[in-house]
Structure 1
């Protein structure tokens, strides 16, 4: 994750956990425990979409998440390029909490963890993906060589 995402994630976790103590009307152990449970549950749900690794194989691009993977066959790729402008307007997004996970206004699925290393991939059936490989120039070079 980039510095901004790390900062947003840490601050939101602190705010949510401290809010779970101060917000409940009743200061009983039960209401505080339920509030903390809800905060932890929210964090776990967001973590389900967190991209752990971007893998480029001979036949597909794999966006490995903590739970599940997205597989994009190389034969289905229409275009791939570096995304110059980020952040983009998002309809649903974490906006820096554990990265930039969500959907953009043009329908692209965003799995961005570093705003400086964003790849925009479009498939032949017009599915769009944004993600952050560890080494964007090398990833673009390698994938362009494979899809020619």
Structure 2
């Protein structure tokens, strides 16, 4: 049986490689990894913005500073997202909840194992990007946090 850390290492190697599509089959399980072309569009947009007048660049810098104060909590694995410890209980966090580094914000279930997801920095939850019971992918954003100053 393929272990979760082996799967994560395979995804990391794929991510760093120049390969765009990778299919892996093992004991009846099939995994297909595919890179999108969105990264290239972002790089082109950044190149275009360097020729913008200074006044517009100041506004862009302010927007960048505001965006840099945001952090995404991403899924460390493929699994099912649960907002609370068990059905019927209050969710770990809601929009507007202040969180401290190391605080649990959700659990992910994979192969009958429940894994806690924690925030890395102090801040405030400003958006929850998935619904309770959704299947999430490795690296998928789950929450948007406004970092504390």
Which TM-score applies when normalising by structure 2?
0.29
Q: Which has the higher helix share?
A: 1
